[in-house]
Amino acid sequence: MFDIAFSELLLVAVISLIVMGPNRIPETVRTLSLWVGRIRQVISSAKRELENEVGIEEIKEQLHNEEIMRNINETKEDVNKELKQIQMSNQKRTDL
């Protein structure tokens, strides 16, 4: 996700140990975890709201319905062509 190598992570841990000391690291990690969780919630909420505003499900349903109608029209055209061919064939037979 972040493309962080183990050596880079280790370097950050050593620097944070030196800067903050061993007593404040757990508190800092907890605080950081809470902030990451809140940011994820905000992003997720914004995504849901955007999807609702845009109406993605309605668009998908409409596209699906349009595809079904297209298939029905194609089938209708095929049936009409066959029917015309049958009518022409019958007309030729009656003319003979």
Pair 6, 44 in one domain: yes
Q: Are residues 7 and 47 in the same domain?
A: yes
Name every residue whose Cβ is closer than 8 Å to that of residue 51 and which is 6 or more positions away in sequence: 57
Whole-model pTM: value is: 0.46
Amino acid at 79: V
- pLDDT per position as a tens digit, 79-90: 999 999 989 888
Are both 38 and 10 inside the same structural domain?
yes
Crossing angle of helices 25-54 and 56-95, rounded to 10°? 40
Which helix H or strand E contains 37, and what residues bound it?
A: helix 25-54
Domains identified in the chain, total number: 2
Say which residue, 40 or 12, is predicted with more confidence. Answer: 40
Q: pLDDT band for 78, please (50, 70, 90 cuts).
A: very high
Residues 7 and 48 in one domain: yes
Per the CB < 8 A criterion, the answer to whether 16 and 24 are in contact is no
Domain carrying residue 81: 57-96
Are residue 50 and residue 65 in the same domain, yes or no? Answer: no
| 1 has pLDDT over 60 | no
